[in-house]
């Protein structure tokens, strides 16, 4: 059963965010205190600021906040592990201290006002609540187009994702405990959460432009993250090579047919027929072989991941 006043942990990954952090902490504290005052969440709810190896004075700021406010915790990673790992660090270290955990970016792009709606949906029984942005108006034309292409590509490759959802989400502690059993090094949280199942809900919000500081996701990092999403999730891409191989092979048979006809009707120069036959046939076969090897590499890849085979949402009766 979901508690009526759960302990909420708000996990905030921070990488060189000293410009915006004072503002975001103020906003988050304000929302958290309102939730506590309204008895929506327990009084021991807290904010956990994860410093992802910042090179500016983010950590000094976090320590100051933590000293001044009992509801703020700080966590410092030893180096820059990246957004996804910073989220994990926060979630995994705090899962024992909270009933539900919210992840939100430090730059106030995600609407802090919908946290209340998320908590409401959680109280109503949902285990994962995804924050989904209504539009991409606040993004540059380029970011909007590339993001849309990315989500379409993921859908084509059968990676389950929630369209336009980034890492703004609330999850029950059982979900996070489940997540702990995914031993993936190449982590793509946006794909893992929908894969886990559980009762989920969606909350729409408009994403504001970054309040202060600049993006920590320049194009290079964003592209590498997108590639991670495509290649670390399943073996659809390898399967595609096999299909291309089969396609090439069929094409080569058609070409062979045409080449033979040309040969028999005498419209060829010496050597052309055999050359073309060999090239097309062999490239088709090559491609199939590559795809086959890919299939096996893919199997090993999935095995090495050692994903859990099942997760338990609830037990009844409770032992
Ligand atoms: N972030 C992080 N480690 C990194 C890069 C980013 O913890 O290596 C954090 C960053 O501080 C922010 C969040 O991840 O809280 C999202 O980053 P950002 O807002 O720069 O990305 P964008 O919204 O531009 O895609
Ligand atoms: Mg941002």
Q: Which ligand is nearest to the CA of 11?
A: 1
Domains of the chain, by residue range, sit at: 8-218+308-315, 236-305
Q: Which ligand is nearest to the CA of 15?
A: 1
The model's pLDDT over 54-86, given as tens digits with 9 standing for 90+, comes to 999 999 999 899 888 899 999 998 888 889 889
Structural tokens at position 139: 């993004």
pLDDT exceeds cutoff 70 at 309: no
Task: Report d(CA 306, CA 304) in Å as an integer.
Answer: 5
The model's pLDDT over 230-260, given as tens digits with 9 standing for 90+, comes to 777 777 888 888 888 888 888 888 888 888 8
Task: Report d(CA 96, CA 14) in Å as an integer.
Answer: 22
> 216 CB under 6 A from ligand 1?
yes
Task: Report d(CA 142, CA 146) in Å as an integer.
Answer: 6
- The whole-chain average pLDDT of the chain stands at 85
- Global confidence as pTM: 0.78
CATH class, 8-218+308-315 region: alpha beta
> 224 CB under 6 A from ligand 1?
no
Beta partners for 133? Answer: 205
> 107 CB under 6 A from ligand 1?
yes
> 131 CB under 6 A from ligand 1?
no
pLDDT exceeds cutoff 70 at 2: no
The model's pLDDT over 163-217, given as tens digits with 9 standing for 90+, comes to 888 899 999 999 999 999 887 776 788 888 998 889 999 999 888 777 777 877 7
User: Taking Cα atoms as reference points, which of 158, 227, 236, 240 lies closest to residue 194?
Assistant: 158
CA of 213 to the centre of ligand 2 (A): 9
Buried b or exposed e, range 123-141, using 16+ CB within 10 angstroms: beebbbbbbbbeebeebee
For the CA of 106, the nearest atom of ligand 1: 15
Contact 115, 102 (CB under 8 A): yes
């Amino acid at each position: 059963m979901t508690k009526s006043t759960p302990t909420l942990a708000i996990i905030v990954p921070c990488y060189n965010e000293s410009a915006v952090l004072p503002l975001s902490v103020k906003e988050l504290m304000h929302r958290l205190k309102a939730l506590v005052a309204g008895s929506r969440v327990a009084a021991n709810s807290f904010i956990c600021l994860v410093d992802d190896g910042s090179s500016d004075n983010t950590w000094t700021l976090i320590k100051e906040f933590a000293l001044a406010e009992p509801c703020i915790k700080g966590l410092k990673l030893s180096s820059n592990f990246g957004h996804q790992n910073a989220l994990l660090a926060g979630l995994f270290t705090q899962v024992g201290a909270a009933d539900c955990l919210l992840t939100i970016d430090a730059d106030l792009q995600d609407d802090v006002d919908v946290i209340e709606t998320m908590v409401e949906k959680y109280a109503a029984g949902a285990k994962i609540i995804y924050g989904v942005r209504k539009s991409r108006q606040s993004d540059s034309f380029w970011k909007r187009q590339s993001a849309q292409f990315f989500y379409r590509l993921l859908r084509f490759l059968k990676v389950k994702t929630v369209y336009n959802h980034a890492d703004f989400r609330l999850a029950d502690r059982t979900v996070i405990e489940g997540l702990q059993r995914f031993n993936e090094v190449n982590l793509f949280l946006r794909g893992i959460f929908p894969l886990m199942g559980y009762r989920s809900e969606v909350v729409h919000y408009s994403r504001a432009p970054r309040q202060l500081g600049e993006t920590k996701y320049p194009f290079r990092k964003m592209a590498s993250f997108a590639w991670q999403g495509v290649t670390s999730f399943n073996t659809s891409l390898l399967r595609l090579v096999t299909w291309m191989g089969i396609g090439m092979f069929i094409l080569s048979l058609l070409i062979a047919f045409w080449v033979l006809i040309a040969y028999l009707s005498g419209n060829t120069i010496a050597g052309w027929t055999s050359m073309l036959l060999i090239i097309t046939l062999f490239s088709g076969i090559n491609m199939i072989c590559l795809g086959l090897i890919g299939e096996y590499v893919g199997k090993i890849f999935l095995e090495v991941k050692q994903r859990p085979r099942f997760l338990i949402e609830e037990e009844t009766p409770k032992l």
